Structure 1
């Protein structure tokens, strides 16, 4: 067998493995069943792509979405791997099957729905198999955040070929989910390799919603590269895309209700773009193998910590700096509790635990990253230096008295008015409504001290978040189970007061990608864009920005020197090397 390091260098352009890649590849080459939990951007695909160049037969990759398969197909073909997809939208199905039967494919990508079918099992028995790679393996677990029933049907297929090693891959699985993946896919517990969950290049930030469109527009101005904005409804994606498009930035909407052709075109435009923002429901993302996403924004609360980690993990997969910013509102938690009340009783405790974990992430005055990593069983440092709270520590104040006044105002006014009216009562803002209701004579009228007035809105959010208050069907506030402890004095409310947002210098994202303002880097990006258009592939398939930065810094003057740069493999050197060398030579 050829040396894996030789393949790593010549095919992929890397001088060494990263993280646990070598451990995973060693197990695969030894024919051992393996579960690899590796953060997004850690190079999971390499752990089956590289063995596909060394093992006899085809590596069958089971992947959940057609778009993801096609993105990975382009990347594999760009480095010279013989790869194909077998999906419902492929027109060359017969040709692909013949190549597969003839052993002329290194990789074959299929969906779990196809892989679990009896007819496909028959096809597999007619072709040489090297490896089963199950991507997004958390989908097999009911404990995972993105359960797909078809993944549960894979075990009979795998067991029919007991001598073919199986490699399950995921970026998002807590201890319970990992154990379930192993059980469902027949992987021994000692075959688990967990790389850790930290994504140090992502800067996490969380803010209360306050004119969400303006907040996201500010984030876009700071981050000129591609971005994803997650909204909670189809209508919200279209509304945000239209509003954000007025900034002059190209924007698109994406959700399951769009015409399939429009949805596919919007996704293709985003994948090919270097600055587009796509506003989408959570249906978008798992199928995107786009490494240069510079920011992910949530315009509402995600479903769980696992979902948040998975969705934010779509930023910065190329290793360059990226931002994940969540904008939340107290009504998010109210709606989440309503959804929990509507699911079957057996699931409710687990769902409440997930919501509590999200509340802790939102409320903390400490390190966001530390909370995320502890959720996945790690023991991180107390501060990461790259989240909003670490970079600009918020104040934490005792707001118990204000909370008690707020709850008293809700009670005295009959538990039937919304937050705006309660605030008006507490601050003594007279109106026809308050006069008519006789509320200006209540003991809670105008009882908020001057310094307390600024805390009323965040206290209201905190009370809703903690389930001390709930919104009724008419939008009025009423007591929840968390109210009693605060009113009776047994509990306190510590409130995190975010620091005022400092206006960042516009274009910070470009400065991070091109820190020295090197015109050669921009010229290389222009050449990459031109080659990408000619080849009908996204620019990142040709080279990542990090490779272009190395070219600009090292200024290679020969193919040999260019080939020594990390990320420049033999196939890409032959295809693109002369074009980039010409740009470097012209720059002098």
Structure 2
């Protein structure tokens, strides 16, 4: 496929001027007829790897997707970009499905999304040669080694036998080596080309905290992010409901989401979040895989996830637009115990326990967290990332030998029969029932560490576990027991270095420094405009433009059609549908608060259009002279006319068309966007004529 055609399609339908790393290589492999396995982090641009080829391939592209919400979200986004796409699943009425079958027969669809369970329904419509490409999304679901195994996916191996000459592309955000091998084996694509993108999501800030006073910490965290969307993942349904209720009581638009809710209720909660009607979702891991919302700015884990794959995929739902986003993980031994119980009932218990141990090590580490994550996925990084809590606030080490001796001695005197909570109570000289009932106030180390807070003792003991002096006997009610190495500290005087624990005040100052952001009034105005349009059209705001696109508009301040088209994320259809409103908002903002003067691009200003108009050239002649579309020239003249330049706009539109737009404006409620008029006239009146008519009518209102 020619470079020029690929880039033109990328810009026309997706609004991007260039491909991201690996995308072009994968697309070339698809056109070459190869099978492919794509491992690309959330937000890395996996979808374009099959959506763009689908537009240029002769027949339909079949996309297997695990969730209804995921299919709907993808199809809504494609439709907004002008791509003919549909989804098929069991929730649809027979008439809806028949309409899709008719579109397949007429070759009107380029992409069809199907759930694994619905494949047999469409089988009679398809044959080898009718399908140009098969894409398996969330491919890790096929493998029992994966973190989100779904039995329905195991039947997909037949697709390669059914369509032997059709290239197949399997895509997932997270898969370790064992899972990658299993995916290829089960899909019958042993010779698939493997494309593994970098897992380094530099825009994501990583932070881990102890699970103490979680709600208070969460409230403090989101207080400075009141205008931003986020997800809080919880281990239990009860926690999702409790956290959501407490946040709602504090004035946040928060909803609980879990598998215990009714189907329609889950759909409503999900759609409210996608459409910015709610700000926060408190969810079990059942939520998220179907969400393509690009402006999620933060993700919190109320409990520790069961493995690093799941954790990585869940935090990856933040910052899909590439802008800075925050993640926060709470962890505690109670979480570890609960997750071990879950693993004990599984078929691959040994694997799950090993992965849980890696997750625990990540949570308790005192080294760069991004290094740990990247190493886990086979990507080795030498330098610290600078964007995690450890890098931002490197621990200061001190001689912790005396603290270690007190802790180890206490565990020894309690005969290794008590969990961390009771060990700390004894060290601090607590007089609670658990201590007194067992007569532990008589133990020699009782009260030996009363000058150290409960929180700090917990942190120090965790460090001693990580270093290897203490182990947790999970099978014995989480008793703390000494390892052979502990003897070197207790009886041989071996020194112990511990990391200094930051105070709660230091943590709060650090959090304020990291999360402090300067609101931009233009960005806010563009965001509010996007929200209004989204509400009018009944689609999610990020499907109009994502936050990164709005940020670029804020920076570049495009005020002509061609400048607007140069913004990443702006394709031809979105320019036609929304460009007029956004340009008008930018111009309005500039009049109120002038931006720093920028040098105009050579031959690219609307003033050149005015000069050519004054020379007596026609629209067609100006268009040809400048190499711009006639609709762009109309937008220049409309702006010049609005600013008071002597331009006879009425010469460009008939009285009948002007009156038709005037009438439509009243009927439609005076919308500023061009798209409602375009649809009102059933595409009989072009965008240029509509723009001219609106310029005349708005000028009349000002006079």
TM-score by length of 1: 0.91
Q: Compared with structure 1, are the counterparts of its residues 20 and 241 closer, same or farther at alpha carbon in structure 2 (3 Å cutoff)?
A: same
Deviations 1:78-132 (A, max 9, x none): 11000001012233111001111221101100111222x3x43223229821100
Structure 1 position 101 matched with structure 2 position 105: yes
- CA-based RMSD: 2.7
Q: Deviations over 1:241-268 (max 9, x none)?
A: 0112233221000001012222211111
TM-aligned CA distance change 1:509 to 1:159, over 3 Å: farther
Question: Which residue pairs with 2:633 in the alignment?
Answer: none
Partner of 1:388: 389
What is the DSSP-based 3-state SS (H/G/I as helix, E as strand, rest coil) of the residue aligned with 1:556? coil
Match of 1:539 in 2: 541
Ranges in structure 2 where 5+ consecutive residues have no aligned partner:
592-703
The structure with the largest alpha-carbon Rg is 2
Alignment partner of 1:384: what SS? Answer: coil
Deviations 1:376-433 (A, max 9, x none): 1111133001111111112345656645543543454466655444333223344677
Query: In 1, distance between residues paired with 2:105 and 2:324?
Result: 44
Shift of 1:337: 3.1
Closer/same/farther in 2, CA of residues 452 and 487 from structure 1, 3 Å limit? farther
Shift in alpha-carbon separation, 1:256–1:332, aligned structure 2, 3 A: same
Work out the CA distance in 2 between the residues paired with 1:268 and 1:435.
53
**1:67 equivalent in structure 2:** 69
The DSSP-based 3-state class of the residue aligned with 1:90 is: coil
Query: Counterparts of 1:453 and 1:244 in 2: how far apart (Å)?
Result: 27
Q: Sort the Cα spacing of 1:378 and 1:126 in 2 relative to 1 into closer, same or farther, 3 A.
A: closer
CA distance 1:161–1:282, shift in 2 (3 Å): same
1:250: which partner in 2?
253
Distance 1:437 1:53 in 2: 73
TM-score using structure 2 length: 0.77
SS at match of 1:381: coil
Residue 508 of structure 2 aligns to a residue whose secondary structure is coil
State the alpha-carbon separation in 2 of the partners of residues 432 and 27 from structure 1.
68
Q: Sort the Cα spacing of 1:550 and 1:456 in 2 relative to 1 into closer, same or farther, 3 A.
A: closer
Q: Is the 8 A contact 1:82 1:105 kept in 2?
A: yes
Q: Distance in 2 between the 1:448 and 1:504 partners?
A: 28
For residues 390 and 167 of structure 1, the distance between their equivalents in structure 2, rounded to whole angstroms, comes to 38
Equivalent residue number for residue 502 of structure 1? 508
2:272 to 269, 272, 296: 269
Q: Against the structure 1 CA distance between its residues 471 and 245, is the aligned structure 2 distance closer, same or farther, given a 3 Å change threshold?
A: farther
How far the C-alpha of 1:18 sits from its partner, in A, is 0.7
Unaligned runs of 5+ in 1: none
Q: Residues 506, 418 of structure 1: CA spacing in aligned structure 2 closer, same or farther, 3 A cutoff?
A: closer
- The 1:421/1:572 distance shift into structure 2, 3 A limit, reads same
- Cα gap change, 1:274 to 1:468, in 2 (>3 Å): same
Question: Aligned match of 2:521 in 519, 522, 531?
Answer: 519
Tell me if structure 1 keeps the 8 A contact 2:230–2:281.
Answer: yes
Bigger CA drift: 281-290 or 519-528? 519-528
Larger mean Cα displacement after TM superposition, 137-146 or 75-84:
137-146
Q: CA contact under 8 A between 1:209 and 1:327: conserved in structure 2?
A: yes
**1:402–1:452 CA contact under 8 A, matched in 2:** no
1:277 offset after TM fit, Å? 0.8
Equivalent residue in structure 2 for 1:550, among 529, 549, 552: 552
Contact 2:10–2:17 (CA under 8 A) maintained in structure 1: yes
Go from structure 1 to structure 2 and tell me whether the alpha carbon gap of 1:461 and 1:510 turns closer, same or farther (over 3 Å shift): closer
Tell me the residue number matched to 1:134.
Answer: 136
Map Cα deviations across residues 172-204 of structure 1 (whole Å, 9 max, x no partner): 011221122122223345611111211110000
Residue equivalent to 2:155: 153
Contact 2:37/2:192 (<8 A) preserved: no
Partner residue in 1 for 2:355: 354
CA contact 2:428–2:454 (8 Å) conserved in 1: yes
Q: Specify whether residues 493 and 574 from structure 1 end up closer, same or farther in structure 2 by C-alpha distance, changes over 3 A only.
A: farther
**1:335 deviation in Å?**
2.6
Q: Where do residues 212-223 of structure 1 align in structure 2 (5 Å cutoff)? A: 212-223=214-225
Corresponding residue of 1:569: 571
Task: Quote the residue 1:175 is aligned against.
Answer: 177
Cα distance in 2 for partners of 1:186, 1:493 equals 54
